[in-house]
């Protein structure tokens, strides 16, 4: 093998330049593979390859040597793809005026350094061909890292799909959730109520919002007037979306719900499958329910195989394009490059989240129509990616074009004051929409619907992140079974018992200090505050 690397094609052809050109986009994808669809890498990857080919061809005209041209191109690529990282490292600590001076100096210094290195490479005494094998080897080793990370993720998801998600039987009285909820109930399926699970991502409990300076009593009072029970001291079982929703749909703690896992197991891949195919969804399907899902923008949270999968239409006009100029992934990709100074505060910052803005509004627009447009019984899962970041909404629902509210790499605001203000802006808009939406769902339903309105977790402050909104519309006296400290792990246990005749034992309402790196941890978190509210 090494003989081949030293004497064969590997040593003669400088293909390292093309590997280096795609390395940044593949690395960014591998870092975010659980959050994005793999297709988002296509445009950055193809653009990088095209740029590399163009540069190699251009340098070939002047240097008259493919290896030297590839080395010169690699130097340019190194500058281009590293600039954004270095610039942020140097400028994050200073005020904007000083940042501009630093960026200009860094740009000029970088260009001068690139020119110097390319001139050195072009000298006749430099034997560039002697380096080809070594640089090819380095390039292959580097590219293997993101490729293997992507492959491991894909492999983990595939294995999870083949492994059933169920809750182990603890004893005869607390039978398997998946088995018990699937037991046939007496009664006509046509008399089953529609069931809605509406998740407002990151929506906090009233006391947390009060600490942030916002009184949410008007919205909560409106819910109660519509017949909702608002759990005053509700908490989420887990503070991370993936864990919280997987636990909700498994009706159990993850260390119990996912088979063949131990407390120290770090493999979160089964949780992604638990979000899509799970005991709750299976039970509704077995009862003849139509499953309704919405596009969310996150592949791991989209029920694309539902009976009704609602997605935005790909129509656009010149003034209001529904397809964004740039995706969030592409924006982050550009921020890491030498175009960083030109995109940081440009219109692209807002444009990258325009698709998010439209997708949230699309879900809000479609929700009240489902009661009449889709025959029942139906189970509707609508995960609305707000009030979570990005804070793209103003209170009236218009697009927030001030990029300071979402101009960091992760889409968060540039300072804490904007964090709170942006979060409350999103809350205000959602409140105005949800009041009307819920009223329409209830009034347009032939059979009083079961509705769960909840946050998958609360606000970003660590000790308050467990304090989520939970409001329930359980008709025909079902609200009497609810209580102030309920957690999502018991939501569908109660629904099953009340409306499908099962006798599931409720789990203890606790919050667990687990995350994606330790999804099956058992340590409990004390309520905050200890007395609620």
Please state the separation of Cα 409 from the chain's center in Å.
Answer: 14
Residue 472, CA distances (Å) to 69, 136, 449, 486, 487 in order: 66, 60, 11, 11, 12
Indicate the SS3 state at residue 195. strand
Tell me the two tokens of residue 301: 């949270």
Indicate the SS3 state at residue 417. helix
Q: Which pLDDT score is estimated for 180?
A: 40
E strand or H helix at 93, and its extent?
none
Nearest to 231 by CA among 526, 485, 507, 510: 485
For the chain, the residue count is 533
Beta-ladder partners of 451: 196, 473
Residue 374, CA distances (Å) to 169, 193, 231, 370 in order: 36, 13, 30, 5
- Catalogue all structural domains in the chain, each as residue range(s) with its CATH number: 2-154 (no CATH), 196-316+354-401+411-525 (3.40.720.10)
pTM, full prediction? 0.80
Q: Which pLDDT score is estimated for 472?
A: 98
Q: Which pLDDT score is estimated for 173?
A: 31
Cα separation, 242 vs 254, whole angstroms: 11
Dmax (CA) for the chain in angstroms is 89
CB atoms under 10 Å from CB of 146, counted, come to: 20
Residue 100, CA distances (Å) to 195, 415, 452, 484 in order: 54, 19, 49, 53
SS3 letters across 25-84: HHHHHHHCCCCCCHHHHHHHHHHHHHHHHHHHHHHHHHHCCHHHHHHHHHHHHHHHHHHH
Cα separation, 461 vs 439, whole angstroms: 32
Residue 3, CA distances (Å) to 7, 108, 136 in order: 6, 43, 14
Q: Which pLDDT score is estimated for 396?
A: 96
Mean pLDDT by 10 residues, the chain (533 residues): 52 84 93 80 94 91 85 91 83 65 82 86 67 87 92 65 41 37 49 96 96 96 98 95 96 89 80 91 95 89 92 53 66 85 67 85 96 93 96 95 81 85 97 98 96 96 91 96 96 96 94 90 82 63
Q: Which pLDDT score is estimated for 344?
A: 65
| Cis amide leading into 529 (omega within 30) | yes
């Amino acid at each position: 093998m090494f003989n081949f690397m030293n004497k064969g094609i590997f040593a003669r052809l400088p293909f390292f330049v093309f590997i280096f050109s795609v390395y940044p986009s593949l690395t960014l994808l591998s870092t975010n593979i659980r959050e994005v669809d793999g297709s988002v890498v296509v445009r950055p990857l193809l653009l990088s390859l095209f740029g590399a080919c163009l540069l190699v061809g251009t340098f070939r005209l002047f240097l008259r040597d493919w290896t030297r041209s590839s080395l010169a191109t690699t130097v340019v690529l190194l500058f281009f793809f590293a600039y954004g990282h270095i610039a942020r490292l140097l400028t994050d600590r200073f005020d904007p005026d000083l940042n501009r001076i630093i960026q200009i100096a860094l740009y000029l210094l970088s260009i001068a350094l690139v020119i110097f290195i390319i001139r050195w490479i072009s000298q006749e005494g430099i034997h560039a061909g002697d380096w080809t094998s070594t640089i090819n080897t380095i390039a292959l080793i580097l590219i293997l890292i993101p490729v293997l990370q992507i492959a491991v993720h894909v492999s983990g998801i595939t294995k999870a799909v083949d492994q059933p998600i169920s809750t182990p039987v603890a004893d005869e009285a607390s039978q398997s959730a998946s088995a018990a909820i699937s037991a046939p109930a007496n009664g006509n399926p046509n008399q089953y109520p529609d069931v809605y699970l509406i998740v407002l991502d990151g929506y906090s409990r009233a006391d947390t919002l009060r600490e942030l300076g916002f009184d949410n009593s008007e919205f909560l009072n409106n819910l109660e007037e519509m017949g909702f029970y608002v759990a005053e001291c509700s908490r989420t079982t887990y503070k991370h979306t993936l864990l919280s929703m997987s636990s909700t749909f498994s009706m159990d703690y993850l260390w119990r719900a996912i088979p063949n896992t131990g407390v120290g197991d770090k493999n979160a891949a089964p949780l992604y499958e638990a979000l899509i195919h799970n005991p709750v969804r299976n039970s509704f399907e077995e009862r003849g329910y139509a499953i309704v899902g919405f596009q969310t923008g996150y592949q791991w949270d989209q029920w694309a195989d539902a009976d009704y999968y609602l997605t935005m239409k790909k129509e656009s006009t010149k003034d209001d394009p529904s397809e964004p100029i740039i995706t969030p992934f592409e924006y982050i990709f550009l921020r890491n490059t030498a175009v960083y100074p030109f995109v940081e505060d440009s219109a692209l910052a807002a444009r990258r989240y325009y698709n998010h803005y439209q997708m949230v509004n699309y879900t809000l627009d479609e929700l009240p129509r489902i009661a009449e447009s889709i025959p029942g019984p139906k189970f509707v899962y609508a995960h609305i990616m707000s009030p979570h970041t990005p804070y793209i909404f103003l209170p009236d629902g218009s697009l927030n074009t001030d990029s300071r509210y979402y101009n960091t790499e992760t889409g968060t605001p540039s300072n804490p004051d904007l964090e709170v203000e942006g979060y409350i802006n999103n809350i205000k808009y959602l409140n105005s929409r949800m009041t009307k939406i819920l009223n329409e769902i209830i009034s347009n339903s032939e059979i009083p619907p079961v509705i769960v309105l909840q946050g998958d977790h609360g606000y970003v402050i660590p000790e308050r992140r467990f304090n989520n909104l939970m409001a329930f519309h359980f008709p025909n006296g079902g609200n009497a079974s609810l209580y102030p400290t309920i957690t999502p792990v018991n939501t569908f246990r109660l629904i099953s018992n009340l409306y499908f005749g099962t006798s599931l034992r409720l789990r203890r309402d606790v919050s667990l200090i687990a995350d994606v790196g330790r999804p099956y941890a058992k340590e409990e978190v004390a309520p905050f505050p200890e007395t609620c509210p």
